[in-house]
Chains A and B, each alone.
Chain A
């Protein structure tokens, strides 16, 4: 129960960075922290006490492997999610480079006031 509360505190810190801060790079860091918190939540859901990773090694029977291993289904969902987050950060960084070229600053207040 404490683990779920700690993960949601990290999620709220990321939401704060995305909603309140005025610097564009701080907003991108907030999106990254939200991604970390959601991936961690999925893997914590699939943990089993005293479990081994879901990979069969040479001397183990299949029945014992099914009893002891950790749930492999959330790990398959998180594996693609991490690589998708990296490409989203790459796209956001290129957007912020273009914004800096046009307005000369990273501050959101000054960007809202200038026109064209």
Chain B
């Protein structure tokens, strides 16, 4: 996963991957009206970044979205979800749904489902992208009787 692929793969993945990200965001935002929600949308966003990682190589993708930034986005998602739960606790019941629920079938309906979906989508998308990128950072080749390390590993920050 260190070197990229040929020119045809690079050009096509450059065109296709914004559409995948927009599709994932649409599944997250309309999670209370159509099938989907936070979990499929987050996994689709992670899959689009893995497509860019496979086509362009590890160095170029990490210069745009470094490991430090995706770590911060992961923490923002977790804090958002916990704050929605704990602010509801001040009303007397854990997870009280305190927003105003609009009409059925419009975008603003269902109370705090919209914020929870966005928080979960952020958390899962960045988690899985971190996990798959870290797996590609270490590469060892075992030849005959001695081990040669081709470690091109960077620090986390």
Contact = CB atoms under 8 A, between A and B. Distances in A.
Contacts of B147: 101, 104
User: Which of A83, A94, A97, A104 has the largest number of chain B CB atoms within 10 A?
Assistant: A83
Interface stretch (A5-13, A41-49, A85-93): A85-93
Interface residues of B, number: 18
Given A101-B140, A104-B147, A86 B128 contact: yes
A104 B142 contact: yes
A97 B138 contact: yes
Contact of B135 (A58, A83, A86, A90): A90
B129 to A, nearest CB: 11
Given A55-B35, A58-B105, A87 B127 contact: yes
A79 B128 contact: no
A82 B43 CA distance: 11
B132 interface: yes
Interface string A74-116: 0000011011001100100110010011001000000000000
A30 B49 CA distance: 28
Contacts of A58: 105
B135 A79 contact: no
A53 interface: yes
Interface in B38-77: 39, 43
B142 A83 contact: no
B28 interface: no
Contacts of B104: 56
B131 A53 contact: no
Given A55-B34, A80-B39, A87-B127, A100 B140 contact: yes
B93 interface: no
B39 A94 contact: no
B25 interface: no
Interface of B: 34-35, 37, 39, 43, 104-105, 124, 127-128, 131-132, 134-135, 138, 140, 142, 147
Given A58-B105, A79-B39, A100-B142, 15 more contacts: A55-B35, A79-B37, A82-B39, A83-B39, A83-B43, A83-B124, A86-B128, A87-B128, A90-B131, A90-B135, A94-B134, A94-B135, A100-B140, A101-B140, A101-B147
Interface of A: 53, 55-56, 58, 79-80, 82-83, 86-87, 90, 93-94, 97, 100-101, 104
